[in-house]
Structure 1
Amino acid sequence: MNIGIVAHVDAGKTTVTENILQLCGIIRQAGRVDHGDTLTDSMELERKKGISIKATPISFMYKDTKINLIDTPGHVDFVSEVERALSVLDGVVLIVSAKEGIQSQTKILVKTIRDLQIPCIVFVNKADRLGVDIKNVLSEVSKNFLGKTINMQGIEKEGTKDVLLRPRSYEELVEEAVELLCDLDESILEKYIGVSPSPVSLDYLYDRLQYFTKQANIYPVFMGSALHGLGVRDLLDAIVNFLPLSIENDNAPLSALVFKIDNNISAKDKKVYVRIFQGGIKIRESIAFHDTTEKVKNLRALENGKVVNKDYIGSGDICILTIKDLKVADIIGEKTEAIKKISIASPALRVQVQPKNPANKRRLYETLFALSEEDPMMDFSGDVRGDKMYLNLFGEVQMEIITLLLQEQYNLDIEFSNLLTIYKETPTEKASAITRIYSGGNHFCAGIGFEIEPLPRGQGLQYESKVSFGSLEKPFQNAVEEAVWKSCKNGVYGLEITDAKVVFAFSQYSSVESTPADYRNLAPLVLMEAFSNSSMQMLEPILEFELVLPEHAASRALYDCRKMNADIWETKNGNGEFIITGLVPVETSKHYKLLLASYTEGCGIFITKLYGYKETEFDENKIDKDNVNPATNKGLYLLQKFQ
């Protein structure tokens, strides 16, 4: 069983994890985030800052069930770690603070869990905190899960250190449970209020609730206070009873996904974390990825809080490899329906990085390259000489963490400059392009045809192949698909292409001469020609924001919002606070947190999340001049390929 712990920052997810590990005998005493002694926050920086930065997998046994648990970061700047973890999980535990309730990051997580139909248990933490309103929090949770939650516990003396939990009685549970279940199972409706109604036992209700939770149709809610260990054993029991076990299918062809990489640069040690969906991996066996195969020389598994060597690891489990060429999101073996492509958010800022000491350019380049292997959303780019190095980032907290990480672990002092907004481009009409083998200046033994079309805003980039594997074998098709995703990072005008569908519609092939490399190299030329045949529109990122500050600063805040071209949804005040919500462009607001801290003396809070992209006028000053568009710079592109 592979489960994740997810939450908004400060909801107490690492504390929940620590108490679970203590109950299962992995650690003697649960660590505390504020004491800097937690097991899953293993980085020195995580302990210093008191926040999780990386998703950390750890394994333990509970009631004869092996559980691989992934503790994920809660801060929105590290949402990419959450995204990668969700792609390999059988189920999740969503932690909600009873004090703060549903917050901005929680809403994003709930929507993702619902949309992807990931089985989920909700744990309302901090039930002992003064002033909590459990009834209101449960109502918020139910609203966000579209009324499909059911509270499994009664609570007394909430908001005090004497808080008590108990299972809900049959009388308390039956009406609510039957109402939920009737929409999913007509036999329950017949049992309860049919022509010949019969009693519905508590055991039967629990059985049906467990079944439909595993189908992601119902979301049970449990409560407690992890800091005091209250409700944690009930949560553990719920994990093994309500969340699904991994599907075991060792006899099927191998299908696995790389979801995490840890690079120890100084020791030149690379740990590649892989979730096996079907089949298995043996030591000294060759595995296939991209267009190549490589022998497994080291094979390790997670067991009881440790990493151990193994000769074989089967489906449903997580293994650790040391193969250097593997990258995050790589598929090993076959691509199956079990492997989900998850996208919660993408960075909206790009920044140039420079070492304070120019002599460290090469070393900084190598370090950033290794860090971007761990987090591909950084999208590190630059030349090996270190003259121009860029990173994609979510926000200022991530910038601060990268600065400290490079300084403390790698003795590299850096500075950021040129904080840029990541603009994108999208086609506005359908278009196509075809290039045949060795025709029209085609130097590759490949023929490719693409059709492209615009998609509604927020749909991202989609790819489809209408070419059968009988016409073009899988390694060649994989090469085309890889080239499409890579080429669309730097579209027609040097901006990432989004909200578009790319269809691989035509191919030509020579059984004597063609290679996958021919298709990989030709695809960008044909694809960018197709996009060039369409009219491209520039898009700018928009943030959803919540601005909270003292009432006396309200007029200044409203003035700032107008200046930033914000679209204000709502303003409200009370208890000495003034709150503004709405939408604001990234470009006009990217430095606002610093300004807010200055004029509110640190009392203002500016919470943002990426809302989406909207049309804007093309501005050449916002475009990467170093980009080489294969369609309009064919000679230079070919020169790069044949050097």
Structure 2
Amino acid sequence: MRTLNLGILAHVDAGKTSLTERLLYGAGVIDEIGSVDGGNTQTDSLDQERRRGITIKAAVASFVMGDVAVNLIDTPGHPDFIAEVERVLSVLDGAVLVVSAVEGVQAQTRVLMRTLQRLRIPTLIFINKIDRRGADPDRVLRGIAERLTPAIVPMGLAQGAGERDAAFAPFGPSDAERLSDRLAGQDDTLLAAYLEGDGLSYGRLRKALKRQTRQGRAHPVFLGSAITGAGVDDLMAAIITLLPATEGDAEAPVSGTVFKVERGPAGEKIAYARLFSGALHVRDRLAFGQGGSAKLTSLQVFDRGPAVPRDTAVAGQIAKLWGLAGIQIGDAIGAPRADGPRHHFAPPTLETVIYSRRPEDRRALHAALIQLAEQDPLINLRQDDERQEIFVSLYGEVQKEVIGETLAQDYGVEAAFRETRMICVERPVGVGTAIEQAPYPFIATIGLRVEPAPLDSGVAFQLEVEFGSLPLSFHKAVEESVRETLGQGLHGWRVTDCKVTMTHGIRYRDWATSTPSEHRNLTPLVLMAALKRAGVQVCEPVHRFGLELPADLLGPILPVLARLGASAGVPEMRGGACWLEGDISAARIHDLQQQLPGLTRGEGVLTAAFDHYRPVRGEIPTRPRTDNNPLNRKDYLTRVARRG
């Protein structure tokens, strides 16, 4: 049987969990459709998800249609939980992007679509809620073409939009001309036949649609309602026929990726993994991550709904694995894939200090946060031993509330937070070099050059030293130290968009202490000296926001946006409502959220998602260091000596 791992993605409240329920119902997996508001859906199983009515953790369910087993992965839509979406992307064969027929394209929709296109994940688009009052499918289609991608192929029309009995009328063979117009522009062979007037058969056009969809060059658009079921049967048929189901090679070497980790009732670690090739068997000894290995004590695979116990998991399946105590999110199982784990979205742009309300819970808080970091590595725990403070990174205030509730409910720890502050980054602005030749107390010589790299490229490390001057283990030690040190730049922020070149490297063979550790410890001093000479620019995160409010309140809110440093575009009128888009510093989003209800009579709706970094205006913000402080040589040497 072929397998399709399918992600359901959307901006919050577009209806993706309701669509997941409808798909499971349509496939006969469940007998009754659950309600998000009622808190009884299949994939929103956490108490907080049911209470808040939003998805917080990615969840998997399965159904079968014909000869295809579909693993359906419902992902969070709220931007505070974009890290869950990040991890799921690495295991998808295809996706359905859900857009509301009322709200249309929103900030998070654009973030998701850009990423799906960049990764060339075949994607269908489902315009949901055509039965809701205010639904305007034509406007939304135009918005998709303008704001997401012009490469859309509408697969039918909505009839009676805005009414309870709204329906989807699919195009058929008589509408071949519509398909010709959309597909010929993406295919030279089709275009030539179209222009020569040879005529394109409906069968040929459907094959072209399938090919272009699987290549990520065309995005079929369906319209309907997850609540009433309108259009969902047509969407299900398209999922099976247009998206690429695969038959994995069970005889090949084992290769898989872990995309989720959770703790079981007894505190045991459970890993969710997509298996790309090979087969797993209970009691197998599995290699994973960077040199880890353990015996697989139990496994489950998703089959017609939830996961069920099995002795074996084969290529294409998603499995829950027990017994792998040291495994982490992003780890490869067996043979690593060539396109290993990557970051597809921006890292968190906010951080806060978290502390226990009861002093006696301090150790319990730290232990609990370590477990939460297993499930969400991007909360990026940082501990400042001098100030006795623990920092966590955040995407937003809702995520902070969820962390606090989780600590109280699951670990019995009452936690509190200090004020949230934005996380900046540092970018080098010039070229800087530095070299240290066997300085006391290090028996090593290292030279480094730091220079700017393209935007959003992260950190690149390369060698420019004579081959054989250092063993490979020494090179690796320097590179690891470079990447770790750049976590805190001249002002304490992470350094990015930076290229570091090792220009000198000598191992003193006459000295037994000339080791990788010596080179690792010397590297921060050399690197920060080079970074000082290059100079850095501190940049703050900027969010793209969308604001819907009553049209008569546009005038009063514009001065408020100006005071918050936001820049707004041209307002778009939608009946009695106004839609406004613009940019605002991540540091001011919370202020706008707090003021919005009072400014808009409680009718304003704000959406925001990270868009880019820009140079800080005014006073340069700094961040307290939590490392050994290589900017202060005396302090650094004292700390390294103490640590050794």
The superposition leaves residues 211-254 of structure 1 with CA deviations (integer Å, 9 ceiling, x where unpaired) of 11111111111121111222222222211211112463455554
Q: CA deviation at 1:298?
A: 3.5
* Matched-pair contact (CA < 8 Å) for 2:106–2:546: no
Whether the 8 Å CA contact 1:430–1:453 is kept in 2: the answer is: yes
- Identify the residue that residue 417 of structure 2 maps to in structure 1: 416
User: Would you say the 8 A contact 2:286–2:333 is kept in 1?
Assistant: no
Cα distance in 2 for residues equivalent to 1:515 and 1:281: 40
| Aligned-partner Cα distance in 2 for 1:145–1:551 | 25
Question: What is the CA distance between 1:638 and its match in structure 2?
Answer: 2.1
Contact kept? 1:21, 1:27, Cα under 8 Å: yes
Contact 2:493–2:622 (CA under 8 A) maintained in structure 1: no
Please give the per-residue CA displacement for 1:597-629, whole angstroms capped at 9, x wherever unaligned: 345453344432222222226857632144433
Partner of 1:284: 284
> Does structure 2 conserve the Cα–Cα contact (< 8 Å) formed by 1:92 and 1:119?
yes
Query: SS of 2:69's equivalent?
Result: strand
1:317: which partner in 2? 317
Which of 139, 153, 158 is the aligned partner of 1:155?
Answer: 158
Equivalent position of 2:35 in the other structure: 32
SS at match of 1:590: helix
Q: Distance in 1 between matches of 2:526 and 2:297?
A: 40
* Per-residue deviation, 1:393: 1.2
Distance between the aligned counterparts of 2:351 and 2:642, measured in 1? Answer: 25
* CA distance in structure 2 between the partners assigned to 1:572 and 1:132 by the alignment: 16
CA RMSD of aligned residues (A): 3.3
Equivalent positions of 1:384-423 (< 5 A) are: 387-423=388-424
Q: CA deviation at 1:528?
A: 3.8
> Gaps spanning 5+ residues in structure 2: where?
none
CA apart distance, 1:559: 3.0
1:110 pairs with 2:113: yes
Partner of 2:611 in structure 1?
Answer: 611
CA distance in 2, matches of 1:69, 1:517: 47
Q: Which of 442, 463, 477 in structure 1 is aligned with 2:460? A: 463
Secondary structure of 1:539's counterpart equals: strand
Within 2, Cα distance between the matches of 1:25 and 1:233? Answer: 12
Query: Is the alpha carbon distance of 1:423 and 1:285 closer, same or farther for their aligned partners in structure 2, counting shifts above 3 Å?
Result: same
Contact 2:110–2:148, Cα closer than 8 Å, also in 1: no
In structure 1, the gaps of 5 or more residues are none
Shift of the 207–466 alpha-carbon distance from structure 1 to 2, 3 Å rule, reads farther
- The one-letter code sitting in structure 1 at the alignment partner of 2:181 is E
Q: Deviations over 1:79-114 (max 9, x none)?
A: 111111112211110011112111111111111112
Match of 2:559 in 1: 559
Distance change >3 Å, CA 552–CA 89, structure 1 → 2: same
What is the deviation of 1:331?
3.3
- The range that moved more, 339-348 or 203-212, is 339-348
1:440 equivalenced with 2:431 (yes/no): no
Q: Deviations over 1:388-447 (max 9, x none)?
A: 1221112222222222222333333222213222122111112345668xx334758x87
How far apart are residue 304 of structure 1 and its match?
2.4
Give the C-alpha shift of residue 637 in structure 1: 4.9
Percent identity over the alignment?
33
Shift of 1:300: 3.4
Q: Is the counterpart of residue 500 in structure 1 residue 498 in structure 2?
A: yes
Give the Cα–Cα distance (whole angstroms) in 2 for the partners of residues 454 and 31 of structure 1: 52
Residue 220 of structure 1: aligned partner? 220
Identify which range, 549-558 or 483-492, moves more after superposition.
549-558
Q: 1:587 to 1:129 in 2, by over 3 A?
A: closer
Q: CA 1:316 to 1:527, structure 2 compared with 1: closer, same or farther past 3 Å?
A: farther
1: CA distance between counterparts of 2:448 and 2:294? 32
- Three-state SS of the structure 1 residue aligned to 2:240 is helix
Corresponding position of 1:175:
177
Aligned equivalents of 1:551, 1:181: Cα separation in 2: 39
How many angstroms apart in 2 are the aligned matches of 1:568 and 1:449?
Answer: 47
Q: 2 CA distance for matches of 1:553 and 1:193?
A: 51
**In the TM superposition, what is the alpha-carbon distance from 1:553 to its structure 2 partner?**
5.1
Asked if structure 1 preserves the Cα contact closer than 8 Å seen for 2:351 and 2:394, the reply is yes
Amino acid in the other structure paired with 1:219: H
Cα displacement (A) at 1:370: 1.1
TM-score by length of 1: 0.88
**Scaled by the length of structure 2, what TM-score is found?**
0.88
Match of 1:274 in 2: 273
Query: What SS class does the counterpart of residue 546 from structure 1 fall into?
Result: strand
What is the match of residue 638 of structure 1?
640
Structure 2 residue matching 1:159: 3-state secondary structure: coil
Q: What secondary structure is seen at the aligned counterpart in 2 of 1:117?
A: coil
2: CA distance between counterparts of 1:204 and 1:255? 36
* Range moving further from structure 2, 310-319 or 391-400: 310-319
Distance, in Å, in 1 between the alignment partners of 2:335 and 2:580 is: 49
Q: Give how far 1:577 is off.
A: 5.0
1:278/1:81 CA distance change after superposition, 3 Å: same
In the alignment, is the contact (CA less than 8 A) between 1:362 and 1:384 conserved in 2? no
Alpha carbons of structure 1 residues 334 and 148: separation in structure 2 relative to 1, 3 Å: same
Q: Which residue pairs with 1:296 in the alignment? A: 296
Helix, strand or coil: the match of 2:165?
coil
- Per mean C-alpha deviation after superposition, the further-off stretch among 470-479 and 88-97 is 470-479
Q: After alignment, is 131-140 or 510-519 more displaced?
A: 510-519
How many pairs are equivalent?
633
Helix, strand or coil at the partner of 1:141: helix
Which of 9-18 and 502-511 deviates more?
A: 502-511
Q: Aligned in 2, Cα 1:294/1:640: closer, same or farther, shift over 3 Å?
A: farther
Q: Secondary structure at the match of 1:570?
A: coil
